[in-house]
Amino acid sequence: MSEDLTRLIHLLDVEEIEVDLYRGRNTDAGWIRVYGGQVVAQALAAAQRTVPAERPVHSLHSYFIRPGEPRIPILYQVSRERDGTSFTTRRVQGIQHGRTIFVLTASFQTVENGLTHQDRMPDVPGPETLPTEEERHRQRRESIPEKWRDIFDKRDHPFEFRPLDSYDSFRPVPMHPASRQWFRARGTVPDDPALKAALLAYATDMTLLDTSLRPHAVSWGDPALQAASLDHSIWFHTVPEPGHWLLYDQVSPAAAGGRGLNMAMSSILTGG
């Protein structure tokens, strides 16, 4: 297991400081605000602590209300909204300086058998034939503004991403608002379904927002661009092994009013 993945697993091990109250640490990755995927994953981890293991998460819906401050921990207050015969519902508030910065509602379900179907995986090149995200950044290093170069160099990389195209976020050209990425955790993850779900939640926010920028050729270095996640939802039909290759098939069907809608489906590469 890589050091970056080990640090992330520790980050998702939120500390219980009172009944239904948890504390999440932050990383020193040079960001001006906390990465949204971290907040989603830590809030989910806190909610899962209050739910029996035999009821895995099947969906979550969340809103980012205020930017998270990286220099101080985030408190996660869990509310036990409902414990039914088959379903459990939890609401989580992320709090800093006494103010709510994030809210999440998650639903959990007893494992049941039922009807099953899934779209066929697209016919795309395999991950081993593609360069990694880090390799692409090294090739373009001189075109990346120094501020962004430092952030990318400093931040942890617990997941390996392999884009299927060569889109350049700092020298963009207009492209169709769609993107496909292979990704996987950099190592074998402990056999803990709750941890696997939190890790996947962390990864889902890493490349989504970029998709809505593609048809407009807006550079991440453009000072007029203010980019942040406003809300984030996930449906877990299964929880695959994070250490296996997953295809993240992303599309942005619309953008208006200064907001972009980004959607994605994840498919598992058979055999890992």
Cα–Cα distance, 42 to 221 (Å, whole number): 29
> Strands 178-185 and 231-235: what pairing?
unpaired
Q: Cβ(202)–Cβ(183) under 8 Å?
A: no
The region, left, alpha or beta by phi > 0 then psi within -120 to 50, assigned to residue 98 is left
Q: Which residues 6+ apart lie within 8 Å of 48 measured at CB?
A: 57, 108, 194, 197, 198
How far is C-alpha 114 from the geometric centre of its chain's CA atoms?
28
Q: What is the pLDDT of residue 135?
A: 86
Query: What does each C-alpha distance from 148 to 32, 142, 145, 153 come to in angstroms?
Result: 12, 11, 6, 9
Cα–Cα distance, 129 to 216 (Å, whole number): 29
Sign of CA dihedral 111, 115, 121, 122: negative
Q: What is the pLDDT of residue 216?
A: 95
Q: What is the pLDDT of residue 29?
A: 59
Q: What is the pLDDT of residue 28?
A: 66
Q: Which residues 6+ apart lie within 8 Å of 118 measured at CB?
A: 237, 267
Cα–Cα distance, 115 to 37 (Å, whole number): 31
Closest CA to 162 of 111, 114, 216, 126: 126
Which amino acid does the sequence have at 137?
H
Query: What does each C-alpha distance from 83 to 55, 62, 92, 105 come to in angstroms?
Result: 11, 20, 15, 14
Q: Cβ(39)–Cβ(68) under 8 Å?
A: yes
Cα–Cα distance, 179 to 203 (Å, whole number): 15
Each residue's pLDDT tens digit in the chain (272 positions)?
899 999 999 999 999 999 999 999 998 655 678 999 999 999 999 999 999 999 999 999 999 999 999 999 999 999 999 999 999 999 999 999 999 999 999 999 999 999 999 888 899 999 999 998 888 877 777 777 777 777 676 678 899 999 999 888 888 899 999 999 999 999 999 999 999 999 999 999 998 999 999 999 998 888 888 888 999 999 999 888 999 999 999 999 999 999 999 999 998 775 44
